[in-house]
Amino acid sequence: MTAPLLSVRDLHVSFASEAGRVDAVRGVSFDLEPGRTLSIVGESGSGKSVTSLAIMGLLDDNAKVSGSIMFDGTELVGKGDKELSTLRGNGIAMIFQDPLTSLTPVYTIGDQLVEALTVHRSMSQADATARAIELLRMVGIPTPERRLKSFPHEFSGGMRQRVVIAIAMANNPKLIIADEPTTALDVTIQAQILDLIATAQRETGAAVIMITHDMGVVAKTADDVLVMYAGKPVEQAPVRELFHETRMPYSIGLLGAIPRVDKAEKTPLVPIKGNPPLLVNLPDECPFVARCPIATEACRTREPELRPIATAEGGAHLVACVRADEIEDGMIGGAPVYPVPELPTSALDRVPREDRPVTLDVRNMQKTFPLTKGAFLKRKVGEVHAVKGLTFDIREGETMAIVGESGCGKTTTLLQIMDLVTQTDGEITIAGTPVSTLHGGKAERAVRRDLQIVFQDPMGALDPRLTVADVIAEPLRAIGVPRAEADARVDELMDLVGLDPAHASRFPGAFSGGQRQRIGIARALATNPKIVVLDEPVSALDVSIQAGVINLLDELKVKLGLSYLFVAHDLSVVRHIADRVGVMYLGEFVEHGDVDAIFDNPQHPYTQALLSAIPVPDPDIERTRERIVLQGDLPSPTDRRDGCSFTSRCPLYKMLPPEQQSRCETEAPALKGSDAHANACHFR
């Protein structure tokens, strides 16, 4: 057993704030050995980022840190900025979450890399530049000599994150801390970056602390896991143990709330009710007690300590729950820890798809944007083909999802529909009314009653200066519903989405994110629409809150007979909630059909790569499955290609003989197959 590289004992961090003293971290202890990966998991407010910043010494000046952090034999707590800066970037390196803002915009990549090197060692400019080129090559950036002189904004998000990793690796650190390094990236890029971090770890023999909220990433990368809640670790175990012998109700809830991309039978998601507590003046009881389905009086007497527990796997497993011994395999006393909500079923499910009325029909939607260059005189230098001919329809009671990565055009598609744009060579028909026949505000307003939208960002979607009642009533007022009737409807809607109508006169700022999203849903339902369009409605929410909103959407669909058009990049959510799916790449569908057919048997190479890139929250499955990792980035949507737009990254294309390759390059594939499953590849 090698000596631990990093030893944290009883770490406490607190800040002063308007509301009082915030105890962000309350007693974290762990050991980390060289070459191992510790994953710290938690939701917002759990204290995971603060812990990592405390180790680096990058917290605000008014943060009070106590406890012990021993790194490689030296105590870090209490050291000044100057001493710690000799360690940062040298012994300990950090990779941050948002690659778009992590690099200084006014210096070149080369300058920033060289700075990372020269601040710790005295190197000549030439030596430093050579090493910088070597680092860029290691992280997979093509033509590194030229790229040295580029500025950060000339790179995509994935590339920038690679540069950040290069900077982190520059001085062969012993410990790499990665704070949600892939949360802001697309799924296929995430797979590349996680691989890269693993490579970096292998090359340098470094230990890694991976901070994340995504259990799939944990299953993929971690050796040991630390689950944090309300600033405290509530469960600590080796990775297999955590997934298979979960003992803390919060962890069980977390795992139960995650939709699975690999499971076909639809089990309802298990939400955890309530919200995490404010970290001010916490009472001496289990912080999870308000939300825990199996809480007892004993849970309120004292805050439970983190104690060892013996399990079948036999690993070093610590848990902070009074009733942990009674829990086994997600069950306690014979019943599941979390009551499983009922899955709503609808009469419409029995009616075959072809017989149901069409609510939204899109034929050959196209959209291009002009690309301008120049600060003074804008001239058109090209076109961005955002949507290149999309055709699909949605039936009553059906959920259609459009998935794709950023830049594929899915949001543009949504906006085209919402803006009721007349297509030049196609048509959008909403509940039987073609868009091209609409003239004038009145006709438009009539159609808009049937078409409503729920946005991604719960904060931005609600006007902070209107009360909730006004927000929900706005669509009613727009169609001329009298005040009294509108008020009654507002109460009805709030009930429907699970909010207390008594709070209708409050402002959105007083509600939590999940609740705000419910308000947004209530607003969308106000006019009894037939179709609700949802733009990534749960991606800005924590996992445990997501589950509640997803269940609500399911329930409403059944109760009110709605159709949903869902846009998402999270395939697990899509699998759970959608009936049909269209996979979009650079403006067109590459695969389209029933959800189960596509997810169980993906045909197009892009869909295959997409599905294989999603980490599954089960370490056994995750580490043994076959993976397809796409090379490179999404090509620029300005190039107009004759052939298939996926050729630059297609793993199948690379393996084809030349005659078939030329077919891919010159002939654009069309969607072929049945209504249940169609794909756009010549050779599938």
Partner 1 sequence: MIVVATNVTYFLAWAFLDPRSNYVGRRPPLSEDQINRLLEPRNLSDTMPLLQRWWGWFTDIVLHWNWGVSPTGQSVNGQIAYRMWVSGELVLGATIIAAVLGIAVGVYTASRQYKVADRVWQGISIVTMNIPIIVAALGIVLGAIAINDALGFRLFYVTGASSDGVTGFFPVLIDSLQHLVLPTIALVFIGYSSYHFLQRSLLLDNIKADYVRTARAKGLTKQQAIRKHALRTSLIPVATQLAFSIPTVFTGAVLTETIFAWNGMGRYFVQTIGTNDVHGVVAIAAFTAVLTAIGAILADVAVVVLDPRVRVS
Partner 2 sequence: MTSATIQPPVGPDTTAARIPRKRIGTFRLYYRRFVRNRPAVAGVFVFAFLVLFAVVGPLIAQFSFSELDFLALGTPPDGTHWFGTAADGGDLFAQTAVGLQRSLMIALTVSIGTTVISAIVGTAAAYFGGTTERIILLIIHFLMVVPTFLILALVSSNAGGDWRVISAAMIFISWFFPARVIWTMALSLREREYVHAARYMGVPGMKIVLRHLLPNIGSLLVINFTLGVVGAVITETGLSFIGFGVKIPDVSLGSLIGIGANSLSSAPWTFYFPALALTLLTVSMALIADGLRDALDPTSAAGGRA
Q: Binding segment for partner 2 among 74-82, 351-359, 499-507, 595-603 (CB under 8 A)?
A: 499-507
Minimum CB distance to partner 2 smaller for 201 or for 452: 452
Residue 178 and residue 171: Cα distance in Å, rounded? 16
Q: Kindly state whether residue 457 participates in binding partner 2, applying the rule CB under 8 A.
A: yes
| Helix or strand holding residue 411 (H, E) | helix 410-418
Nearer to partner 2, 339 or 441 (CB): 441
Residue 545 binding partner 2, by CB under 8 A: yes
How far is Cα 207 from Cα 4, in angstroms, rounded to an integer?
10
Calculated CA dihedral for residues 470, 473, 479, 485, nearest 10 degrees: -120
- The yes or no reply on residue 59 touching partner 2 (CB under 8 A) is yes
Work out which of 41, 56, 471, 534 binds partner 1, going by CB under 8 A: 56
- The letter for the amino acid at 458 is P
Nearer Cβ to partner 1, position 167 or 630? 167
Q: Which stretch binds partner 1 (CB under 8 A): 13-21, 101-109, 406-414, 552-560?
A: 101-109
Nearest CA to 313 out of 227, 238, 225 is that of 238
Please report whether residue 413 would count as binding partner 2 according to CB under 8 A: no
| DSSP codes of every residue in 274-322 | S-PPPSBS--SS-TTTTT-TT--THHHHSPPP-EEE--SS-S-EEE--T
In angstroms, give the least distance from the CB of 385 to partner 2: 23
Q: Which does 612 bind (CB under 5 to 8 A by kind): partner 1, partner 2, none?
A: none
Q: Does 49 contact partner 2 by CB under 8 A?
A: yes
Six-digit token string for 628: 């397809």
CA–chain centroid gap for 527, Å, is: 31
The conformation of residue 88, written as its DSSP 8-state character, comes to B
Task: Kindly tell me which of 82 and 465 has the beta carbon lying closer to partner 1.
Answer: 82
- Determine if 206 is a binding residue for partner 1 (CB under 8 A): no
Segment 72-131, which members bind partner 2 (CB under 8 A)? 97
Q: Which does 119 bind (CB under 5 to 8 A by kind): partner 2, partner 1, none?
A: partner 1
Distances (CA, A) of 187 to 76, 542, 568: 36, 18, 12
Which option in partner 2, partner 1, none does residue 621 bind, with CB closer than 5 to 8 A by kind? none
Binding mask 64-83 for partner 1 (x = CB under 8 A): -----------------xx-
Question: What would the x/- binding string for partner 2 be over residues 147 to 186, using CB under 8 A?
Answer: ---------------------------------x------
Applying CB under 8 A, does 465 fall inside the site for partner 2? yes
Measure the CA angle with vertex 555, ends 550 and 556; round to 5°: 100
- State which of residues 5, 40, 93, 228 lies at the interface with partner 1 (CB under 8 A): 93
Tokens representing residue 284 in the block: 């001496």
CB nearer to partner 1: pick between 378 and 623 = 378
Give the type of residue at 539: S
CB atoms within 10 A of CB 395: 21
The stretch near partner 2 (CB under 8 A) out of 18-26, 385-393, 649-657, 665-673 is 18-26
Which 8-state DSSP code applies to residue 471? H
Q: Among residues 104, 172, 281, 662, which is the contact residue for partner 1, using CB under 8 A?
A: 104
Beta pairing partners, 272: none
Residue 653 near residue 661, CB atoms below 8 Å:
yes
Residue 336 phi, psi dihedral angles, 5° rounding: -65, 145
Check residue 497 for interaction with partner 2 (CB under 8 A). Answer: no
CB distance 77 to 150 below 8 Å: no
Among the residue ranges 92-100, 336-344, 453-461, 475-483, the one whose residues contact partner 1 (CB under 8 A): 92-100
78/314 with CB nearer partner 1: 78
**Residue numbers 312-371 binding partner 1 by CB under 8 A:** 371
Asked if residue 469 binds partner 2 (CB under 8 A), the reply is: no
Q: Which does 455 bind (CB under 5 to 8 A by kind): partner 1, partner 2, none?
A: partner 2
Residues numbered 366-395 forming contacts with partner 1, rule: CB under 8 A: 371-376, 378
Residue 49, number of CB atoms within 10 A of its CB: 19
Check binding of 666 to partner 1 (CB under 8 A). Answer: no
User: Token digits for 209?
Assistant: 């602390």
Residues ≥6 apart with Cβ < 8 Å to 615: 191, 194, 214, 216, 217, 219, 220, 622
Part of the chain binding partner 2 (CB under 8 A), chosen from 4-12, 390-398, 535-543, 624-632: 535-543
Residue 472 near residue 523, CB atoms below 8 Å = yes
From 273-281, 334-342, 429-437, 599-607, span contacting partner 2 (CB under 8 A): 273-281
First to last CA, the chain: 51
**Residue 150 one-letter amino acid:** S
- Report in angstroms how near the CB of residue 57 gets to partner 1 at its nearest: 9
412 binds partner 2 (CB under 8 A): no
Footprint of partner 1 on residues 592-611 (CB under 8 A)? none
Rounded CA gap, 684 and 602, in Å? 10
Binding-site partner at residue 479 among partner 1, partner 2, none, CB < 5 to 8 Å by type: partner 2
CB of 117 to partner 2, least distance (A): 30
Q: Which stretch binds partner 1 (CB under 8 A): 26-34, 150-158, 222-230, 544-552?
A: 150-158
Pairing of strands 317-319, 307-309: antiparallel
Interacting span for partner 2 (CB under 8 A) from 155-163, 510-518, 653-661, 668-676: 510-518
Determine the Cα–Cα distance for residues 587 and 366; give it in Å rounded to an integer: 9
**Which one, of 342, 340, 324, lies nearest residue 332 by Cα?**
324
The rounded distance, in Å, linking the Cα atoms of 651 and 638 is 23
Q: Quick check: 88 binds partner 1 (CB under 8 A)? A: yes
Question: Are 487 and 493 within 8 A, CB to CB?
Answer: no
Q: Of these, 10, 17, 121, 559, which contacts partner 2 (CB under 8 A)?
A: 17
CB 198 within 8 A of CB 206: no
Burial call 562-584: b when 16+ CB within 10 Å, e when fewer: bbbbbbbbbbbbbbbbbbbbbbb
Binding site for partner 2 (CB under 8 A): 15-18, 22, 24, 43-45, 49-50, 53, 59-60, 62-63, 97, 180, 274-278, 418, 441, 444-445, 448, 451-453, 455-466, 474-475, 477-479, 503, 506-507, 510, 512-514, 516, 523, 540-542, 545
Binding site for partner 1 (CB under 8 A): 56, 58, 81-82, 85-90, 93-94, 96, 98, 101-107, 115-116, 119-120, 151, 153-154, 164, 167-168, 371-376, 378
